[in-house]
Amino acid sequence: MKLNALFNRSLWVYHFNSGSCNGCEIEIVATLTPRYDPERFGIRLVGSPRHADVMLVTGPVVHRMKDRLLRVYQQIPDPKIVMCIGACGISGGVFYESYNLDGPVDEVIPVDVYVPGCPPRPEAIIHGVVKALEKLERLQGVEA
């Protein structure tokens, strides 16, 4: 399967931590090492949401981060993909029903790809990003 049939540029990813324990962040950093080499797929971590195609969100959404998450989500240009990384972002994880949560990520912004695990392995994160690329290509095909 040709991954860059319609989406003819590298996939740039912006990471947002909405209140997690940092286990997922450690796995994301491990994913970026030469051992897994995500740049072979054109995946690159960027420091600005205005340059991103994909938003990686880790952790459940705490009260103080809800407005920031919405603001960052709005800054990413369309078409965009949101990936929820880890059990905490998907369901609240060990923080489920905590007094400080506004809920899992999909109750605040729409999520396109879920990567389960506590924390998920780098292989799972790369697989999720490849799935995000396929979805982004489908969105590009609809717009064309």
Tokens of 20: 């997690």
Task: Kindly report, residue by residue over 69-124, the tens digit of the pLDDT.
Answer: 999 999 999 888 899 998 888 888 777 888 888 888 888 999 999 999 888 998 89
Residue 126, in any domain of the structure: yes
Question: What band does 29 get if pLDDT is binned at 50, 70 and 90?
Answer: confident
Residue 125, in any domain of the structure: yes
Task: Kindly report, residue by residue over 92-102, the tens digit of the pLDDT.
Answer: 877 788 888 88
pTM of the model: 0.83
Question: Domain containing 84: what range?
Answer: 11-137
Residue 118, in any domain of the structure: yes
Residue 107, in any domain of the structure: yes
Residue 71, in any domain of the structure: yes
Q: How many domains does the chain have?
A: 1
DSSP 31-51: HTSTTT-GGGGTEEE-S-GGG
Q: What is the CATH number of the domain that holds 79?
A: 3.40.50.12280
Residue 121, in any domain of the structure: yes
Residue 142, in any domain of the structure: no
Residue 143, in any domain of the structure: no
Residue 65 DSSP SS3:
helix
Question: What band does 7 get if pLDDT is binned at 50, 70 and 90?
Answer: low
Q: How far is CA 136 from CA 22, 26, 53, 57, 110, in A?
A: 27, 26, 9, 17, 14
